[in-house]
Every structure is written in C-alpha cells, then in structure tokens.
Amino acid sequence: MISIEGLSKIFALNKKNITAVDDLTLNIKEGEIYGVIGYSGAGKSTFVRLLNRLEEPTAGKVIIDNQEITALNTKQLRLARQEIGMIFQHFNLLWSKTVEDNIAFPLEIAGASKAERSLRVQELIDLVGLSGREKAYPSQLSGGQKQRVGIARALANNPKVLLCDEATSALDPETTNSILNLLMDINEKLGLTIILITHEMHVIRKICNQVAVMEQGKVVEQGQVLDVFTHPKMPVTKKFVEQIMGSSSEDDDISNMINTYSNEGKILRLHFLGETTNQALISELAKKFDIDLNILQGKITQTQAGGYGTLFVQAKGEIEEIDMAVSFIQEETSVEVEVIRDAN
C-alpha cells in the first residue's frame, strides 16, 4: 500500500545543514494502523509531512497505492492529496466557519455539488459523533469535538490513507481514548490505512498494529507492537516501554519486596504474553498442588495483538510440591517462569 524508499529531508539553517529525516525506508500494508513514535526532534512530524509533500523531500521516494507521490507535478499532486487525509495536533480548523462548513470545505475545493456536499457532510457528522453540533463554531467546541471535526474533514473526499500528526497530544486522557476509539472504528468500518505520529507509547499500545521508533531522523527499531514492547532493543525504545510498564526505579521496589518475602518458599517471576494473559494460572496451581501462593506484584497491559506482563509470586509449601508446580508451568503452559529467590 505505502512504500517509502530512502526518504531524506535536509533543512538549511543558519548556513548549516540539518538532517531531519535520514534515509528512511518503510513498508506499510493496506488497512494497517501504523505508529511512528519518537521524542521531540526525532523527525517524525517532518516525516509524515513528506508523505503528502507538505514538505518537499531532499531525496527518496514515496509510493502510495502504486502512485509515486514524489514524482507528481503540482496539478497531479493536488488530485493525489484528495486521497490522503490529514489531521493535526492543533486541529487547523477555519474558525470563522461552522462545523458543517469546515467539513464541506475540501468538498468545495474538489468541485462537489451543493447536494453532494450536504449529503456527505451529514454522513461524516454522524460517523464522528457530532450530530446536533452542525451549526456550532470551533470556539464553541471542546478539544475532542474540534478533533472530531478535523477527522471528519480529513475523510471528506474518501481518502485511502489518513495521516495523524500528534492528533491526541493536545487532549486530556479521557478525550484521547475517545478519539483513539473513533480512529479504530473508522479503520474497521472504512478499511482505511492510518499512519499515526506520536510521542506517547500508550497511544501506540492501544490502537497500532506495527510501530517504528525514530531517533535523530532514523528508524532505529520497527516491528509488531507486541514484539517491540516485549523485546525492546534500543535504549530509546526501552524508555518508551517504561511509559507503560514502569521505570527501573520500580525494579528496586520489587527487589526490596522480594527480600522481604524471601524467608520461605520460592519467589517466581511469571511472564505472560498474548493469549496466556487470559489463563487462570494462579487458581489452577492452587487446585493442583498443595502450595500457598502469595502475589507480590505484577502488571499486565494490552496491545492490539494481545496482552503481556509480569507477575511476581511467592510459593510456599513442601519443596517437592513447589518444584512440581514450576515443572507444570514450564511443561504444560506457555507462561514463562523463572525462580528468582529460593529460601529452601
């Protein structure tokens, strides 16, 4: 669906060349929600603006649905952009126009008739949940409602691709979740390919299938969200994962807790991945083996591809029973187990 080959952007600033995007290559499948994450200055917003040539690339190709965007002339690009919707962090609405007029604006530019505009605008207002707010002006809307207008406007010409540049960064957590749920609903209903730029890992976790991590203009890590979450390789990726799973300071808390409870039995670290997060493992162990289980600490989070997390458990009882329980986990389940303290 989207092929990006050797994409680069160099800005000249104070007689110096600044490389914002550096030889970036990605392939994005049709219908995916593809996340691109990076800290401020990583080049991610420049990257997304290169896809529809709001920024002109210094080098490289962008191919969307077999059309090379980077090779189009001005007239061809104007038509191609009708199939590439975009929403922004600060909404970019026309403040002197109503909700319905904002949504209708790209249809006017495309030459749609008044009747066609009216029908399409009402469809989109219903889709994004703004019924009853058609005549309101942006100043009369909440942040979430403004972004819903932005989404509806971006969908006006039935695009194949939706670019989201920090679309939830200006919103509170509850509103962010409602917008992310809307994007997932649109992706499912319309089969739309979505590229989502963010600096927030929980946004990636909630709705993305694939993720690319950017640093200093380069993609330093990419893959399925669950794989990247569970096996982060680069330091920057590990920092992002800590946004969800907790920082290394929590490891110290766990160590102190383990030392507190390590005077009896064994301390086990259980690692759950994907469907294993739904297993009632603790209750199953308690029924099968004559042991007592004390849950010390744990955290499980969900991604689009399934859940993952870690649970620390103290197992008390006869050593043979504990060993049989550990063997059962290793041989009969897909949960990973590690004995990290043995007081016997």
CA 120 to CA 248: how far, in whole Å?
A: 51
pLDDT score at 97:
95
CA 326 to CA 306: how far, in whole Å?
A: 24
Task: Please give the CATH topology (third level) of the domain spanning 2-244.
Answer: Rossmann fold (3.40.50)
Task: pLDDT band for 311, please (50, 70, 90 cuts).
Answer: confident
SS3 label, residue 123: helix
Average pLDDT over residues 296-321: 81
- 315 contacts 322 by C-beta, under 8 angstroms: yes
pLDDT score at 257:
63
Position 309 pLDDT exceeds 90: no
Position 276 pLDDT exceeds 60: no
CA 114 to CA 311: how far, in whole Å?
A: 59
- 337 contacts 326 by C-beta, under 8 angstroms: yes
Position 127 pLDDT exceeds 90: yes
- 183 contacts 207 by C-beta, under 8 angstroms: yes
Task: pLDDT band for 254, please (50, 70, 90 cuts).
Answer: low
Any residues with CB less than 8 A from the CB of 161 and at least 6 apart, and which?
Answer: 1, 2, 51, 64, 65, 83, 84, 85, 192, 193, 194, 195
pLDDT tens-digit map of 48-67: 999 999 999 999 999 999 99
Provide the residue ranges of all domains of the chain, joining segments of one domain with +.
Answer: 2-244, 248-342
Rounded to 5 degrees, what angle do the CA atoms 53, 59, 61 make?
65
Q: HSE on the CB side for 226, CA within 13 Å?
A: 16
CA 25 to CA 19: how far, in whole Å?
A: 15
pLDDT score at 342:
79
Asked if the domains at 2-244 and 248-342 fall in one CATH topology, the answer is: no
pLDDT tens-digit map of 25-39: 999 999 999 999 999
Average pLDDT over residues 85-94: 91
Question: Looking up tokens 């990290």, which residue turns up?
Answer: 340
Q: What average pLDDT is seen over the chain?
A: 89
Task: pLDDT band for 344, please (50, 70, 90 cuts).
Answer: low
pLDDT tens-digit map of 168-215: 988 898 999 999 999 999 999 999 999 999 998 889 988 999 999 999
CA 93 to CA 179: how far, in whole Å?
A: 17
- 65 contacts 142 by C-beta, under 8 angstroms: no
**Cα 177 to the center of its chain, rounded Å:** 12
Average pLDDT over residues 253-281: 71
Q: Name the superfamily (CATH) of residues 248-342.
A: ACT domain (3.30.70.260)
pLDDT score at 271:
81
DSSP 215-227: ETTEEEEEEEHHH
b/e for 64-88, b at 16 or more Cβ within 10 A?
A: beeeebbebeeeeeeebbbebbbbb
Taking each continuous run of H as one helix and of E as one strand, the counts in the chain are: 12, 14
pLDDT score at 253:
60
